[in-house]
A and B are shown apart, each in its own frame.
Chain A
Amino acid sequence: MAKDILEIDEGSFVSEVLEDEKPVLVDFWAPWCGPCRAIGPMLEELETVFGDKIKFTKCNVDNNPVTPGKYGIKAIPTLIFFKKGKVVEQITGVVAKTKLEETIHKVLQEI
């Protein structure tokens, strides 16, 4: 059973995302965004497969406007992959699960 994805906020962004040793995926989302809600279950599924290699997190842009602003986010859902504090991949909009898997593999290979 998929567990809930770790919710991060402005306060925990540095420690949970930027300073983590593992690659981190941040799903920038908001409750009013239909496509964001729709991809939630897909990310939960992917976490059950890749969760030991990539840390899955989500950030509500409504409650945390500063961080998305810093990364120039003007559309959601936006998924950003971080590695040691640096942005390595970014996906905007809803994409197929296969495309997400591809990106995850790519992120895992670029060590």
Chain B
Amino acid sequence: MLEYFDPRKDSHPAIDYGTPPSSRDLVPISELITLSIDGHDVQVPEGTSVMRAAVMAGIHIPKLCSTDSLEAFGSCRMCLVHIEGRRGYPASCTTPAEEGMQVRTHNDSLAKLRRNVMEMYISDHPLDCLTCAANGDCELQDMAGVVGLRHVRYGYEGNHHLGIEKDTSNPYFTFDSSKCIVCSRCVRACEETQGTFALTIFGRGFESRVSPGQNQDFVDSECVSCGACVQACPTATLTETSIIDKGQPDHSVITTCAYCGVGCAFKADMQGDQVVRMTPWKQGKANRGHSCVKGRFAFGYVTHSDRITTPMLRESIDQPWRKVSFEEAFEFAAKRIRGIQKQYGRTAVGGITSSRCTNEETYLVQKMVRAAFGNNNVDTCARVCHSPTGFGLKTTFGESAGTQTFDSVEKTDVMMVIGANPTDAHPVFASRLKKRLREGAKLIVVDPRTIDLVRSPHIKADYHLTLRPGTNVAFINAMAHVIVTEGLQADQFIAERCDVEAFEQWKTFISDVRHSPESTEQYTGISAAQMRGAARLFAQEGNGAIYYGLGVTEHSQGSSMVMGIANLAMLTGNIGREGVGVNPLRGQNNVQGSCDMGSFPHELPGYRHISSEAVRRVFEKAWHVTLDPEPGYRITNMLDAAVEGTYKGLYVQGEDIAQSDPNTRHVEEALRNIECLIVQDIFLNETAKFAHVFLPGSSFLEKNGTFTNAERRISPVRQVMAPLCGLVDWQVTLGLSKALGYEMAYNHPSDIMDEIASLTPTFANVSYERLEEEGSLQWPCNDDHPDGTPIMHVEQFTRGKGYFALTEYVPTEEKVTRRFPLLLTTGRILSQYNVGAQTRRTENSSWHAEDVLEIHPHDAEDRGINDGDIVAMVSRAGDTQLRAKVSSKMQPGVVYTTFHHPESGANVITTDNSDWATNCPEYKVTAVQVTKVTGTERVSQWQTQFAEFTKKQIALLNGSEGDEQ
């Protein structure tokens, strides 16, 4: 058998190899080259630097400007070596290893050279090592020690940079230019790793200094605070402010970020049980050592004073909260739930699982609902984001998940980004995507807004198709129409891999002239020429990958659009290998996992339908109960039933439906009708303000478990501190279930995972032992795929043959009229996360203190709106007021806002419209009118009520009646 060298596996995470591997591909052992370093033979792939080869042989050449996350630069002159037969002393970082090369890394001349260079560095560097924040973590200090520098002949009196003021403008890190050795590692990290290009070296020679923007403060520059520069800095020049305040960590734990669906691996650097810093983990397979402002810095919410750490209960929501023991809370909740079931029937109660909690916790909640509540009224917030993805991809491919790894983007030739804004919502993946674009991949952006990917330093979309919100399916059909009618499809792939009969039927359907770009132009607003150009590019440019977000799913035709995307991928043969595929960018950290774990009312874990008797029997045997064969309520059904008065009890774990779900007033009405609302959360969120029982939750730092990210990667979450409330979420669910009379016995989350694995074929070989060995695993992971499945549908589709589904374009009922002439679309921004419960309690709010309404200059001018004015926004569902931001990134007729702050009331505006197949709400299309607010009245009626209600609930939390305040 051919043996391979794997550059990513055959390296140690704690070692800095100085330069990156020459390629991430496997290299046959027979093709490695051999060189000798200090008399040791070492075998490396061609293109490896002498420096990296030396580290692989265990020899560390002194270095300052190089690190293995960045391309070699060769500026510090510390890593000089002697190579037999060559003149001078080449820099080992920029010199590629060659067959037969004889390298000497240390001799007297090299030692003298290095000492002299170091002497010059130190002649312009403060000698305050003992009181320096980087003490114990400084490469300059280490190298000065390694080269044996003993004194500086030049003195310290001459010109120097020691008096430069610190830049403390960024809340998370400090820039101390006086400690800078101008190695450019930060500048290069900003360019190569992050792709923002916010830093440069100002001037030249002695006056060279690192400059954010045009010699601005960090916070005023284009810096997005991802932390890559801080990570790359070898000195104390760029240091986390938390390290300056607290000192260096004494131990660390590898865990998985709890923000977005990228699922970055982080090293939690600890002092005792305090997190002093989070740093991206180099071996993390989702993030490959990169981070964003949320995961890297915004972890302060975990110990925020708003955390509620004691269970509480109350008879009704106008009473003060009473702090109680867990036992009392469980008894109270169980009694009420059983009472409701007795009075209103078995199906009058249900639960909502969390996409932020672990797989194990989610699994338990749905198990409790099905086994202890005795119905299938369980749903999850994926309902309101990616449920169409599950449905659409299951129908066409046979599996409800994305087909690729994030690494796959490194092999992509043309990418189409539809309804996603990765630089804000999935920033770490966006950096990898931008890196590939800088290498020359082509880009088609389909979005009503001019998102950063359309044009930013070194990135320019080849096509930006500014489609009108709500016309996705018309667009995707037109793409397919062009490809089919111009004969650009992958015939062989279709013949071999797809259901040919369905394809022929679909081909007839799609070839109809009503799908031509010339016909769809009237709906989409995309010119036929642009449309045809983009379709040709996608079909002909090699590996084509589609990345999409909620701009695809959150529509009345969300499921049709997902199927349209799947059709396009199959049509062009872009499935089943690296560089291609259908890639839904999942929003929350464990939204993929919560779906996998059977959170939907019609599906048991592993996406198996509840109506299947065979499947039910497996679970009934393991759970010792009889399962209801009927699918239960979706979130929307629960809310409707609550408003009608037939649904009375709800257990919500780690979800905030009062803020995140559409048509807030409807949600509020439903919640007020519920007689037993049990909320489990780390904060008193908006939903908890309507609750009768509050069970304190635990953050990701307080528990063990697993999260599953957008690439189906199951990553371990490891406990770094004890749960503040004494119990972690899975234990709380166990307690509640026990009180309901259904006892579940687990000692550790690994026991829960073992049960999941035993019941779910796609998880069969997943265990904590395997996760420990591999770092993470991508499901399906079973006997067929013992190491997991990075790329899906390689040999054949999960469903056998790929299915081309017919996707007729049906315009949404939400139409612009004279009364509501604008279309509102909603989204996210970089610094805030989802409902903002976490990020609003961190310094991230300094970047986004309120939600604003973005509006095109023409629409603003028509309405006399200036930048910063307060405007009123009205839809058929409700009205609210917020500040306007006039932006040419919008297209005329479309306005945009975010929902990170509850008082903005973005979801008071959104309507009850939803996807035909899955009820995923149509957040992306709401017809509205926007007017300037004059006079002093600056809040809508809803906002006034919201403020009063919030004030009262906070008072009730603090133990008073509220009215006295």
Task: Report whether chain A binds chain B.
Answer: no
Q: Could you list which residues of chain B lie within 8 angstroms of chain A, going by C-beta atoms?
A: none
